[in-house]
Amino acid sequence: MTWWLSALVLFGLLTVLFLTGLAAAFAFFGINIVGAWIYLGREAGLIQLIRNGIVSITSFSLTPIPFFILMGEVLFHTGVAMKAIDAIDRLIWRVPGRLSVVAVVAGTIFSAISGSTIATTALLGSLLLPQMLKRGYHPNMAMGPIMAIGGVDMLIPPSALTVLLGSLAGISVSQLLIAGIIPGVVLSVMFVAWIVLRAVTNPALAPAFEHEEIPLWDRWRPLIVYVLPLVLIFVVVVAAMSAGWATPTEAAAIGAVATVAVAAIYRALSWSNLLKALLGAAGISGVILFIIVGATTFAQILTFSGATNGMVDMIKSSGFSAWPVLIAMMVILLILGCFIDQVSMMLICLPFFMPLVAVYGFDQIWFGVLFLICMQLGLLTPPFGMLLFTMKSVAPKEIEMRQIWSAVTPYVVMGLIALVAVMLIPGLATWLPRKLLS
């Protein structure tokens, strides 16, 4: 069987399984069984499938994932996150589009302490969206910033998907985690600038409202008490990796312990909400790890079938230069992001993309950040962006899906601008990890 026919069969079956509505993990597992039987040697192939699964989830590089997810779960279930939102709300004063700006700033801070994009969007949506709509904010001004900043969670560490990408692609996890900080912050600043510009040019989109006068110390005290410790946890996690004091796993464990300790100091921690946080972290981590089981064998099957080498050799022999190939990879990711989830994007693309990264000499950290930005955009692009459905679940019933799509469109455009900026200025992604980890 030729390589292109093997690729057509494997991806054709995968597409059919996706169209049936089967979960990604089970779709890949089904393909792996068929592929292992055909390409890896029948019974021996199935035994190899089991061995690959065991090896893939016992990798030390994956252990930060449950710790990073636990950090966010503890914040949300103990109510510490809500106190932080209130503190940020008190501080931001007399700014056009104030509550939208609060959503972006709060989301950026949560991105630095939580590993879950969906949890951040759901929390901000359930807390801030009703307030904004009640105060007369246009739905686009209310929903857009919340969804957009939820996607930034993927770029700013800690990020479970960044750890997964680094592990599957063979990229340094610690460098990739730090590399997303500058692009993530740049996106947050762009969002705030857009909100303020829209609110100034059309005040009806975000009506101003009277604020209760708060003494200066009462305005700053909640920030110091509830936000500063969370920022310090982020600094400790990044500093521990940057200085070489701890591996990403050890830094994640430190961050998880510190988050639990902070919640306990606030007397917000109880056995009940700790159990909820642990169960939530275990559930999400389990899903991710189950999907990883399919990743190793799927990549191996593609290699044994000749699909990976055939594709790479075809592109090499075509004479394309590096930039058209890079742009083509980004376009493929953006298109896939409209229809499938982020983990499936990794499983489908990395077996083909990483050999091309090696062939064309792309910087792995730079390429990893570009991949992350594309996945972040995939969370926001219709028709199946995950954060669009998360917003729909917390929005009032009268909000239609087309309004959610309209609300997120400007932020998708800004994400594309950020993608082009990082492509043209690689230092936005590579400077910080090289500076801190050199």
**Is 70 exceeded by the pLDDT of residue 308?**
no
How many whole angstroms separate alpha carbon 427 and alpha carbon 175? Answer: 13
Long-range contacts from 207-213, C-beta under 8 angstroms, 24+ separation: 207/135, 207/136, 207/137, 208/96, 208/98, 209/135, 211/93, 211/94
pLDDT at 364: 95
Contact 60, 327 (CB under 8 A): no
How many whole angstroms separate alpha carbon 285 and alpha carbon 264? Answer: 24
pLDDT at 83: 83
Domain count, the chain: 1
**Is 90 exceeded by the pLDDT of residue 75?**
no
Q: Write the pLDDT tens digit of every residue in 224-277.
A: 888 888 888 888 888 888 777 888 888 888 888 998 998 999 888 888 988 988
Amino acid (1-letter code) at residue 16: V
pTM of the complete model: 0.83
**Is 90 exceeded by the pLDDT of residue 55?**
no
pLDDT at 2: 72
pLDDT at 114: 66
pLDDT mean over 67-86? 82
pLDDT at 216: 67
Amino acid (1-letter code) at residue 179: A
Q: Write the pLDDT tens digit of every residue in 177-221.
A: 899 999 999 999 999 999 999 999 998 898 876 666 677 667 788
Question: What's the domain range around 341?
Answer: 3-437
Of 291-300, 315-324, 383-392, 420-429, minimum mean pLDDT range: 291-300
Of 17-21, 398-402, 419-423, minimum mean pLDDT range: 17-21
- Residue 57: band (very low, low, confident or very high) from pLDDT cuts 50, 70, 90: low
Choose between 367 and 304: higher pLDDT: 367
- For residue 175, give both structure tokens: 């460098």
Q: Write the pLDDT tens digit of every residue in 43-53.
A: 777 777 777 77
pLDDT at 295: 64
Q: Measuring CA to CA, which residue among 422, 341, 346 is closest to residue 379?
A: 341
- Residue 145: band (very low, low, confident or very high) from pLDDT cuts 50, 70, 90: very high
